[in-house]
Chain A
Amino acid sequence: MSSDTTPVLEVKNLSVALPPGGDRTNAVDKVSFTVKPGEIVCLVGESGSGKSVIAFTIMGLLAKALRPVSGEILLQGENVLAANEERLRELRCTRMSMIFQEPMTALNPVMTCGDQIDEVLSTHTKLDAAQRKAKIIGILTRVKLPEPERIYASFPHQLSGGQRQRIMIAMALVLDPVLLIADEPTTALDVTTQAEILKLIAELQGSQGTGVLFITHDFGVVAEIARRVAVLRWGELVEMGPTEQILSRPQQAYTRMLISSVPSIHPVHRGVRLEKETVLRTEKLGKTYSAKSFFQKARVVKAAVDVDLDIRRGETLGIVGESGSGKSTVARCIARLIDPTEGKVFLGTTEIATISPSRLRPHRRRVQIVFQDPYRSLNPRITVGDSIVEGPMNFGLKRDEALGRARKLMETVQLDPNALDRYPHQFSGGQRQRICIARALAMEPELLIADEAVSALDVSVQKQVLGLLDEIRQRLNLAVLFITHDLRVAAQICDYVAVMSQGRVVEYGAAEQVFSAPKHAYTKSLFAAAPGRNWEFGKFAAA
C-alpha cells in the first residue's frame, strides 16, 4: 500500500543506558526499526525486554535515571533525542501521541473527559471554545462512544475501562498525529473489550494513515493487529519482519520458543470421566456483599449466585470469565478465605461453608490456594523455607520433618532444595510461583485452587508453570480448580470448564465440548473476542 513512502518514525541504533547496578548495562541496546505511515508495527517481548523504554524514549518521557547513550530517533526526519523540552511539548499530541496500559490512572479523576481533551486543544491550537467543543464531540463520535455529549461532561470514574481507553485514544488522535504509540493499551481490559479497542485502533489508523507503534506481550494481539513485528529480548532486537513471516517462519530460536509457548486455543484431548471420587461439590453457592453504612441505604452486590460445581480426584475444573464475573469470589468461598452467604460447599462429605472457624481448621489443610501475584504471595520478611514449613508445622509436624518435606517439594517444583534459606526477593516471578505451589503442596491437599496463578507470568514461564501444575496433578492425583480469564490457558489445562458471567455459571461442561461448540451466547462472544483465535501458534512452516 504505502510501503514505499518515507517512514514517520525511524529508530536508528538506539541504546539507552540503565543506571549502574542494574541487571545489564543497557535497557535498550542498538535497536533500529522504522514505522511507515498507515502501518502498525508491534514491539513484542517479555517483561524487562525494554519495549516500554523504547516507547518512553521516543516520547521524551524517560525516567531521569535512564538516558539514551547513542543512536537517533527520527520523527518525520526530526531527531527527537536532540529536541529540547519545549520542542518535545510541541511535538507531543500534534505529531506523536501515546496511550497507556492503565486507563484508570492515565486520566485525571477530578476533570471531566471533555475538559481533558479540551486541554490538549487549547494548548496546541488557536481554536475558540465552540470550535474546540465541536472538534471534541467529533472525535468522541469517531471513537464510537455512545452519547458524546454525555461523555463530554462525564468524569472518568463514571465510565467503564473500555470507555476510558476510548477517551485516551480520542485524546491521542484529536490532533491527527502521524505517530501513535500504544503501550499495552488492552492488557488491563477484558477480552471482549480488548477486541473492540483493537478494532477501533485498526480502523482509525487505517482511515488517517497514522503510523502505530504497538507494544504488547500477547502474540494473540500481534496476530490480530500487526503488519510487522519486532521481537525484543533483554533490550536487543532479536528479529523483525512481516507478521505472517515472524509468526509462521521465525528465524531465531528465541522467537520460535516464545511463539511455541503460546497455548493453543484448541483444548487437548483428555480421557472421559471415570467414576472417580468427588473431592469438591458446591450447591447453590452464593456470596452477597452488602455495604452497610450508618447513614446510607445498604448497597447489595451479588458477586456469586447459585454456583454448582463438582470436581473429581485427578481432574482440573476451569472457571473462566471476565473481571467481575465472580470467579475469584467462588474460589475464595471454597477456600473459606471469605464466608459464603448462601449455599453449601462439600469437601468430600464434610460441609465447610457454614462451620465455625475452629471446626474448619482441621479441614483447611485439604484445600490449598495459589494466588495470581507472585510478588505478593510470599511474606518478604521470612525465608521461603519458613513459608513452606509454616503450614505443616501448624498441623503438628516437627520442624525437621517439615523441612525434609520442603526439600523434596523444592525438587518437585524443579528448584534447588538448598535455596530454602533464601528470601522471596531473591527469586524471579516464575520461581516464586513454584515456591507458592510447593507451599500449597506441603499441606498434602486434596484440592488445589490456582487463582489466575499463571496470569502474571511471561508466556515462556507460564508454559513451564502450566506444565508443572499438570504434572503434579497427574502424579499426586490432585483435584485442581483453575481460575483464569485466559481461554488459551484454560484450553490447555482444564478437563471441565465453567464459564461465569455476572456471578452466574452460564455454561458448564467438558472443555472440548465447550470450546468446540459453545452453547451460551456469552461463551460464544468470549470465544469470538479471543485475539488471534484463527492462528495456530507454534505450528511453524519450514524455515
Chain B
Amino acid sequence: MIEETVDSAAIASASTKRKSLWLLAIRNPAVIFGGTILLLMVAIAIFAPYLGTIDPTRIDPAMRNKKPGTEITLRLDDGSTVKRTAYMGTDTLGRDVYSRVLYGTRVSLIVGIAVAALSLAFGLIIGMVSGYIRWLDGFVMRIMDGLMAIPGIMLAIALVSIWRSGLITVIFAIVVPEVPRVVRLVRSIVLTVREEPYVEGAISVGTPTWTLMMRHILPNTIAPLIVQGTFTAAAAIITEAILSFLGIGIPPETPSWGNIMSEGRTLFRIFPHNILYPGIFLALAVLAINVMGDGLRDTLDPKMSKKV
C-alpha cells in the first residue's frame, strides 16, 4: 500500500494558486474604471463646499438664465460684490447650476447607497428565513410577489400624498419594490447551499440553526449580493431622478439632479445647460456603478460571465 501523506510543500504551492477573489476583483479593469469614477463622485459629494461652489439655494433674480461661462456678480450680505464665473450657467431663479449639480451628487449617492444597503439588508434577512424555514417559504414568497407588483413610481406618488415629499419617502418608495428581487436571489442561493453535503455535515454534528446560517450559508450570498447591490444602487439613482423630475421626489429647494433637470425643462430649448450638466453627471454615475457591477460579477461569479 502506498502511504499518502501530506506534503507540506505541495500544499503551500497549491495555496498560492488560488488567489483571493477580492484581489482579483480590484485588478479587473471594469472595476478599476467604475470604482475610480465612483470614488471621484464620492469625493465631490463630500467636498462640495470647497470646490468653488456657493450656496446652491441662493436666489439671485438679477443673474437669471446665464449661459455657461458667463461672469456673474454676487452681492454678499455685507453689501460688497464679488465677481465669479458660472461654469454651468445659472437657472431661471439665478441659482448657480455648478453648485447645484455638485451638491446634487450628495442626494444621488445617499439615495443609491441607502437603497442598496436597505434592500440588501431586508432582502438578506427575509431571503434567509424564506429559504431555510420551509413552512414559511410559500407565505413569504407570495407577499414578495405582491410587493414586486407595485411599481416604484406609483408607490412614491401614494406615499408623497400620505406623508410629504422628502429623502426618506423617496428611499422607502424605491426600497419596497427592490427588496423582493434581493429576496429571490438570496432564497435561491440558500436553497442550493442548504443541500450541500458540508451543510448536512454541520447539521449532523449538531450545529445550532443560527450558527449554521451565519457560518455555512450566509458567506455564500455575499458575492452575489454585492453584485446585486451595485445594480440596485444604479437603478435607485435613476429612479430618484425620475421621481424628482416628476416633482414627487426630493423637495424642490434641495438640489438633486432630478430637480435641476425638472426645473430646467421649461426653458430647455433656449438654455439646454440646465438639463445637460446634471444629465451628464447622472449618466456618468450610473454608468460607473453598472460597469463596476459587471466587473465584480465577472470576477466574483465566474459562472455568470464568459471569461473565466
Interface residues of A (CB under 8 A from B): 21, 257, 335, 337, 361, 364-365, 367-369, 371-373, 376-382, 387, 390-391, 394-395, 414-416, 418-419, 422-423, 425-428, 430-431, 436, 439, 442-443, 460-461, 463-464, 467
Contact = CB atoms under 8 A, between A and B. Distances in A.
26 contacts: A361-B206, A368-B204, A371-B200, A371-B201, A378-B198, A379-B202, A379-B216, A382-B215, A387-B198, A391-B205, A394-B208, A415-B5, A416-B5, A416-B8, A418-B8, A422-B15, A423-B15, A425-B18, A426-B11, A426-B14, A427-B6, A427-B11, A430-B4, A460-B2, A461-B4, A464-B2
Contacts of B197: 371-373, 376-377
B55 interface: no
Interface string B181-223: 0000000000000001111111111111001000110010000
A4 to B, nearest CB: 40
Nearest to A392: B205
B14 A394 contact: no
Contacts of B211: 394
B219 A381 contact: yes
A64 to B, nearest CB: 11
Interface residues of B, number: 29
Contacts of A431: 4, 6
B296 to A, nearest CB: 18
A456 B1 CA distance: 19
Q: Which of B8, B15, B18, B204 has the most chain A CB atoms closer than 10 A to its own CB? A: B204
A425 B14 contact: yes
Contacts of B205: 364-365, 368, 390-391, 394, 439, 442-443
A467 B215 contact: no
Interface of B: 1-6, 8, 11, 14-15, 17-18, 196-208, 211, 215-216, 219
A21 B11 CA distance: 15
Contact of A391 (B5, B8, B196, B206): B206
A376 B200 CA distance: 10
B201 A415 contact: no
Contact of A369 (B11, B15, B200, B206): B200
A419 B208 CA distance: 27
B30 to A, nearest CB: 22
Contact of A419 (B1, B11, B207, B216): B11
B206 A394 contact: yes
A390 B204 contact: no
A464 B8 CA distance: 20
Given A378-B201, A416-B6, A460-B2, 8 more contacts: A257-B2, A337-B204, A387-B198, A394-B208, A423-B15, A431-B4, A464-B1, A467-B1
A463 B1 contact: yes
A436 B219 CA distance: 21
Contacts of A442: 205
B207 to A, nearest CB: 5
Q: Which of B14, B18, B205, B208 has the most chain A CB atoms closer than 10 A to its own CB? A: B205
Contacts of A372: 197
